[in-house]
Amino acid sequence: MESCREYFCCRRTKCVMYERKDGVNCWEMEGTLCNSPALEQIDSDTHKHKEAKCDYCIYYRDAQKELILKGGANE
């Protein structure tokens, strides 16, 4: 699957994900500049870890579906 930057046509060059090409996913990284209004709303909730917040993101959900179709979510 394409990167989150490509998926959203994101131009936030200061995001930690902007130039990454090493296969690390945005939901595995702190400090992303996610453009999801849902994530911005719950960002102040310190009781949820990063990936739990990403459940609200369409990119994350699509990526998870793709992993399942490929045969495993641990790849």
How far apart, in Å, are the Cα atoms of 68 and each of 12, 45, 49, 53, 64?
Answer: 29, 29, 22, 20, 6
3 state DSSP class of 75: coil
- Its pTM stands at 0.73
Q: What would the pLDDT profile of 4-61 be if each residue is shown by its tens digit?
A: 999 999 999 999 999 998 989 998 888 888 866 656 555 555 555 666 778 888 999 9
Residue ranges of domains in the chain: 4-70
CA pseudo-torsion sign 37, 38, 40, 41: positive
